[in-house]
Amino acid sequence: MQLKEFTIERVIAGYRKQEFSPSELATSYLDAIEEQNGRLGAFLQVDRDLVLAQAAALDSRRQEVNKLPLFGVPIAIKDNFLVKNWQATAGSKILKGYVSPYTATCVEKLESAGAIIIGKTNLDEFAMGSSTENSAYFPAKNPWDTSRVTGGSSGGSASAVAAALAVGSLGSDTGGSIRQPARLCGIVGLKPTYGRVSRYGIIAFASSLDQVGPFGRTVQDVASLLEVISGYDRNDATSSRAIVPHYSDHLKGATLKNVRVGIARDWLEGVDGEVRKSFDEAVKLMIKDGAKIVDISLPHSRYALSTYYIIAPCEASSNLARYDGIHSGFRAEGVTDLDSVYFKSRGQGFGAEVKLRIMLGTYALSAGYYDAFYGKANEVRKLIQQDFLTAYEDCDCIVMPTSPSTAFKFGEKAADPIKMYTSDICTLPVSLAGLPALSVPCGLDSQGLPIGLQFIGKHFEESHLLKVAHKYELERGEFPLPAGVDY
Amino acid sequence: MSGSSNLDREDVLKIARLARLELDEAEVALYQDRLGRVLEYVRELNQVKTEKAATVKHVPRDAVSIREDRAIEFTDREALLRNAPAQIEEHFLVPTVIEQN
Amino acid sequence: MSLSEKYEAVIGLEVHAQLLTESKMFCGCRNAYGAPPNTQMCPVCTGQPGTLPVINQFAVELGVRAALAIKAEIHHESVFSRKNYFYPDLPKGYQISQYERPFCTRGKILISLGDGSEKEIGITRIHFEEDAGKNLHKGDHTQVDLNRAGVPLIEIVSEPDMRTAEEAGQYLRTLRTLLRYANVTDGDMEKGNFRCDANISVRPRGQKEFGTKVELKNINSFRFVEKAVEYEIDRQIRAIEGGETIVQQTRGWNSAKNVSEVMREKEDAHDYRYFPEPDLAPLQISDKWIGEIKNELPELPDQKKSRFESSYGLSGYDAGVLTASRDLANYFEGVVDVCKDAKTSANWVMNELLGRLNAVGKDIVETPVSAMELANLISKVQSGAISGKIGKTVFEEMFETGKTAESIIEAQGLKQISDPSALEPVVRKVMEANPGQVAGYKAGKVKLLGFFVGQVMKETKGQANPGLVNDIVKKLLDS
């Protein structure tokens, strides 16, 4: 059995042909993870017993392979998701040893569809970061070049799929945390429309921006995962009641003919030469297939970084107040009064980037500053969103690079927060507008590192977005695996 | 932004106190620098004319989802207590609190 | 000039009322008082990572009822906000409340005062919020019970319209009555489901500006609302007279010592960093929904009072007394239902029952005489089975022992004698014993008739039917 060949379709076909049982497949994945995780740091927790128990239960339900869309498919879950009986650390010391008392809605949906939860993946602490260097445990490494970052914050989930240690995975995207690591690791990653997937059971970073989404090797796999995890959840008042289409079925017969593809030219100015070249080639391919290119303008998106770095820290400063050394998780040792429970537990429990963002948000919400920061940023956010809605009067989807440069080396951007934050410059506006977007690999640079193309759709029109991306993917042809993945 | 981008030490300590974060001296210096940089950067929003924002509708959303008033028992309360760092007699335990309310 | 003539107090009240829902504000845990510690909790109300709030529909409806009861404006769109602060009884590190855009503003209630006057008190706003848990202090440590965390509350903020402790007390009682009528809250201060903080300042009479206000907390019983407010007003006046400056602070009422004590100074004032709760879209309350809630709104005190006047023919005063609480009004209607005589029922309830309850300091819900039993007693008097006077004795006995009228009358042989053949011998006996009076009557002193009736009643220990005795006496004397 060759793990590197597995897509969801291929796994299901294997079960139908009785090539392997769920337990056999799960064991192969567990063995591969055990062998590779030291090199890649993709997983924070892999519990053999919990995995094999799920697989064994499926062994006795083999006939259900025709009913359950993800029967026996090993899926990795970012460690800021709660899965009952698994730890959920969010990559933070402050939640070390925290055992989930319940399961996130989207993971419940995966389980009901027959998926095997294979492990919990590494991330930047509380999903705050663009490199997975901020994990309190160890950094995740890029399977294409382990001296480079995976991107973040869902670096572990991206690395796991790129290295064939899971067929698919889930991540969360607040400002680019799915798309950017998908791009750096050479796989497909989708951030759905805000409200498409329930956030219940996802450890909150910035509530008005957080969204769950899938990683896969192909657009087809991402579509299959999306249709399982999407839908209204009575436990999430911000989840949408919009009908969930059969995204994967809709891909059949996709065409780019007469699809109006929007490009914001001024956005391409700061982009690396190689990234730009790869982007232009991808656009040519789409034109060849019948797409019509439309010039669009997103004038307020240049303020996305500032807007995001006010809104997200404000919400985070409040969301992370619950880690107080009293109700759950870590309490500093030797604390004998209430103030030291708070100050020491939080001071020692949170890492540097998390503390920076908590303080940013605390400052921006404090008396006298609210209107100038949070109030102003929310106004700009509306304008950013309005630009997109205006652009969509003339086009059906928008393409732009997923990030301006390829995977950087460890520590390269760690010193200057703004420099690190600019790696998300192309994904932030989309998050602020609540739009769906996915990153599809579109080439390799001269160092053999993946480059990604970001497709952005209209609210709740993932179906159309996936069709366009799927068709592009077909035109592009097979995308290679990282060199070391040969198992 | 009305706040100066150059935060002084006292500003950093005040924010850390509000956020209940103990910082050592090196951290105070680090955050004074980093917070200062980010706040300096985000000042650019001052230039943005946002009068039109009031007329922009929010992301199309369903009406707020409301829950029927029905009691549902959560059966695994031990799991909740177990995750607390300290418990006593089925309670969450903290050092003595000087009552404020 | 006395100090109270020289100064005027300005009082505003903030009332927190727990709502009578089955479940909590944002999760499915049961909202009930008195369960064993930490048994009514779930991932949501303990603030587990990843959990989200979902608004309880009925809590909103109860809030709207409260708004209707105080004739306030209800906003079609309101916004939940987070109030951020750290405290062990607050597991999320923030309380979900409403801040800039509450669901209800500009209400008012009318209060009655001891001198017979009435006064309108403005209500600034009502907003929704969730309750915190409880910190239990155990000497060397504090332990936290989260059963109460997330229980739905409304906070009702009055205008600074009150000027005396009496007004504050009456406002609080009237508000409670209204909310209890509307089935919004239990309104039990002792159980903590109805809580009151008072903002109190004093200023020289005639001055327009308010003085520096002090927030007074821990007023947790109706028994000492006036006393606490009075004390604080007095304390401030004395302080000013003594040359002190009042500082803005929070004080707590110490009901054991009957004094207010400093809890915190203004410098400790929190910076709550309010911002709109991103996990909840703005709350929409449509006119249609308000209409439905209005249709199901229980009858409110003033509606009930006018109905009592018009359909029972009661005086304004009687109707007012009988509608002072919904329980009392229900009791009264229970009596009328059975005995069908509203005026008589009103007299019995007001004079006998309330008189006795007040004497022993009990509330109508604690009455040992049920409405049905009181109605039975009244019916016996009306049918002549017992006399009115004996009726009152029987009532005393019922109140003391909780026995039924029937059994008391039976056991003590109090049944009225209405059999002429039983009464005639008694009348004859009285006539024989008083020949002089008989002669006098026959000589034309007809007023002596009353004397004979009285003697017969005395002879029968009041059990004789007085009308019948009258007839028999007349018949035998005239024969």
φ/ψ of residue C197, rounded to 5: -115, 140
Our CA-based measurement puts residue C91 at a distance from the nearest CA of chain A, in whole angstroms, of 6
CA A286 – CA A395 distance, rounded (Å)? 14
Q: Across the interface, do B69 and C281 touch by the CB < 8 Å criterion? A: no
Q: Say whether A78 is catalytic.
A: yes
Q: Of residues C410 and A138, which shows the higher confidence score?
A: A138
Q: Which residue of A has its CA nearest to B66?
A: A237
A414 reaches B (C-beta below 8 A): no
- Residue A38: pLDDT band by 50, 70, 90 thresholds? very high
- Residue B59: pLDDT band by 50, 70, 90 thresholds? low
Q: Which residue of A has its CA nearest to B18?
A: A362
Domain edges within chain C: 3-291, 301-412, 420-478
Q: Across the interface, do C281 and B80 touch by the CB < 8 Å criterion? A: no
**Looking at A21, A130, A131, A153, which residue is catalytic?**
A153
Kindly tell me the number of DSSP H helices and DSSP E strands found in chain C: 17, 17
Give the CA distances from residue A94 to residues A256, A354, A404, in Å, rounded to whole numbers and listed in that order: 48, 11, 33
Q: Say whether A109 is catalytic.
A: no
pLDDT of residue B2: 39
Bridge partners of C80, per DSSP, are: C98
Bridge partners of C265, per DSSP, are: C249
| Rounded mean pLDDT for each run of 10 residues along chain C, 479 residues in total | 86 98 98 94 97 98 97 97 96 97 97 93 98 91 95 98 97 95 94 95 94 93 93 95 92 93 75 96 95 94 94 93 92 93 94 93 92 93 83 93 88 79 88 90 87 87 83 85
Q: Across the interface, do C140 and B96 touch by the CB < 8 Å criterion? A: yes
Mean predicted confidence (pLDDT) in A65-86:
97
pLDDT of residue B55: 81
Q: In this predicted structure, which of A25-39, A195-209, A322-336, C83-97 has the lowest mean pLDDT?
A: A322-336
ipTM summary value: 0.96
Give the CA distances from residue C199 to residues A353, C14, C160, C218, in Å, rounded to whole numbers and listed in that order: 42, 8, 8, 12
- Residue A419: pLDDT band by 50, 70, 90 thresholds? confident
Kindly list the structural domains of chain A, giving each domain's residue range(s) and its CATH number in brackets, ordered by start.
3-257 (3.90.1300.10)
φ/ψ of residue A206, rounded to 5: -130, 105
Judge residue C241's burial from the number of C-beta atoms within 10 Å of its C-beta, 0-12 exposed, 13-18 middle, 19 or more buried.
exposed
Mean predicted confidence (pLDDT) in A216-233:
98
**Chain A contact set for B8 (CB, 8 A):** none
- Residue A150: pLDDT band by 50, 70, 90 thresholds? very high
CB A149 within 8 A of CB A408: yes
Token pair for C131 = 């309750």
Residue type, C333: E
CA C462 – CA C453 distance, rounded (Å)? 10
Cα-to-chain-centroid distance, residue A136 = 19
Q: In this predicted structure, which of A12-21, A176-185, A330-339 has the lowest mean pLDDT?
A: A330-339
Map residue C251 onto helix, strand or coil: strand
Task: Write b or e for each residue in C328-348: b if 16 or more Cβ atoms lie within 10 A of its Cβ, otherwise e.
Answer: bbebbbbbbebbebbebbbeb
Q: Which residue of B has its CA nearest to A373?
A: B1
Does pLDDT of B61 surpass 70? no
Q: Across the interface, do B94 and C87 touch by the CB < 8 Å criterion? A: no
Q: Residues 35 to 64 of B: which have CB under 8 A from any C CB?
A: 61-64
Kindly list the structural domains of chain B, giving each domain's residue range(s) and its CATH number in brackets, ordered by start.
9-49 (1.10.20)
Average pLDDT, chain A: 95
Q: Across the interface, do A336 and B95 touch by the CB < 8 Å criterion? A: yes
Q: Which residue of C has its CA nearest to B94?
A: C142
Q: Across the interface, do C50 and A370 touch by the CB < 8 Å criterion? A: no
**Chain C contact set for B96 (CB, 8 A):** 137, 139-142
Does pLDDT of B1 surpass 70? no
Closest CA to C399 of C376, C374, C378: C374
Which chains have at least 3 CB atom pairs separated by less than 8 Å from chain B? A, C
Using N-to-C axis directions, what is the helix angle for A219-229 and A105-112, rounded to 10°?
110
% of chain A beyond a pLDDT of 70: 100
φ/ψ of residue B46, rounded to 5: -55, -35
Closest CA to C155 of C220, C99, C91: C99
- Residue A413: pLDDT band by 50, 70, 90 thresholds? confident
**Chain C contact set for A362 (CB, 8 A):** 273
**Looking at A21, A130, A177, A230, which residue is catalytic?**
A177
Residue with tokens 């969103």: A385
DSSP string, A367-408: TTTTIIIIIHHHHHHHHHHHHHHHHTTT-SEEEEESSSS-PP
Mean predicted confidence (pLDDT) in A459-486:
96
Q: Across the interface, do C54 and A374 touch by the CB < 8 Å criterion? A: no
CB C285 within 8 A of CB C74: yes
Task: Write b or e for each residue in A297-311: b if 16 or more Cβ atoms lie within 10 A of its Cβ, otherwise e.
Answer: ebebbebbbbbbbbb
pLDDT of residue B3: 42
Does pLDDT of A420 surpass 60? yes
Does domain C420-478 correspond to CATH entry 1.10.10.410?
A: yes
Query: How do C104-112 and C80-84 pair as beta strands?
Result: unpaired
Q: How many CB pairs under 8 A join A and C?
A: 99
Does pLDDT of A179 surpass 70? yes
Token pair for C462 = 């009041």
CA A208 – CA A211 distance, rounded (Å)? 9
Mean predicted confidence (pLDDT) in B62-87:
89
Q: Which residue of C has its CA nearest to A321?
A: C93
Nearest CB neighbour to B56, from listed A98, A309, A382: A382
Q: Say whether A382 is catalytic.
A: no
pLDDT of residue B96: 82
Q: Of residues A211 and B53, which shows the higher confidence score?
A: A211
Residue with tokens 């005396």: C164
Give the CA distances from residue A412 to residues A124, B75, C448, in Å, rounded to whole numbers and listed in that order: 16, 49, 122
CB A379 within 8 A of CB A372: no
Nearest CB neighbour to B61, from listed C29, C217, C281: C281
Token pair for B74 = 């959560």
Does pLDDT of A328 surpass 70? yes
